[in-house]
């Protein structure tokens, strides 16, 4: 699958989910992760859709796969924090929440023009 085709599939799945067709979104994202197992975006989107559907086990599995690919992503760490909180593991939720906060601080240091009150 080409990068463009993969991106289109992820965007289509996101639109399907936003339009209320969760089953089609999950099917498309599952196809995307099968075709491109190194796609962080596909795994993260799949985790978010499953989480929104309260399907915590598949949400966690997809989020953990995305985490293997990009462990420092602040949005993914937030997703993992939310999943662990829903599963009742406050310690793990706090760990990933802290990782998200650290990622946010690093991003602000790298890009002060994007930080609230930053120059630019």
Residue 109 lies in a domain: yes
Q: Report how many domains make up the chain.
A: 1
Residue 67 lies in a domain: yes
Do 69 and 40 contact (CB within 8 A), yes or no?
yes
116 confidence band (pLDDT: 50, 70, 90)? low
User: pTM of the prediction?
Assistant: 0.83
Half-sphere exposure (Cβ direction) of 111: Cα atoms closer than 13 Å: 6
Residue 119 lies in a domain: no
- pLDDT tens, residue by residue, 67-109: 999 998 989 999 999 999 999 989 998 989 888 887 777 777 7
Residue 88 lies in a domain: yes
Residue 25 lies in a domain: yes
Residue 120 lies in a domain: no
Helices 3-18 + 40-52 axis angle, to 10 = 10
Q: Lowest-pLDDT range, 50-59, 81-90, 107-116?
A: 107-116
Q: What is the CATH number of the domain that holds 56?
A: 1.25.40.10
- What is the extent of the structural domain holding 72? 3-114
């Amino acid at each position: 699958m080409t990068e463009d085709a993969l991106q289109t599939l992820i965007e289509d799945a996101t639109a399907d989910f936003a339009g209320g067709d969760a089953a089609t979104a999950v099917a498309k994202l599952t196809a995307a992760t099968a075709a491109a197992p190194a796609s962080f975006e596909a795994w993260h989107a799949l985790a978010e859709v499953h989480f929104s559907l309260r399907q915590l086990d598949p949400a966690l599995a997809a989020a953990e796969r995305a985490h293997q690919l990009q462990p420092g992503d602040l949005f993914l760490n937030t997703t993992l924090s939310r999943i662990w909180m829903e599963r009742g593991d406050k310690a793990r939720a706090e760990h990933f929440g802290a990782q998200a906060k650290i990622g946010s601080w690093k991003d602000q240091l790298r890009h002060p023009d994007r930080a609230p009150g930053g120059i630019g």
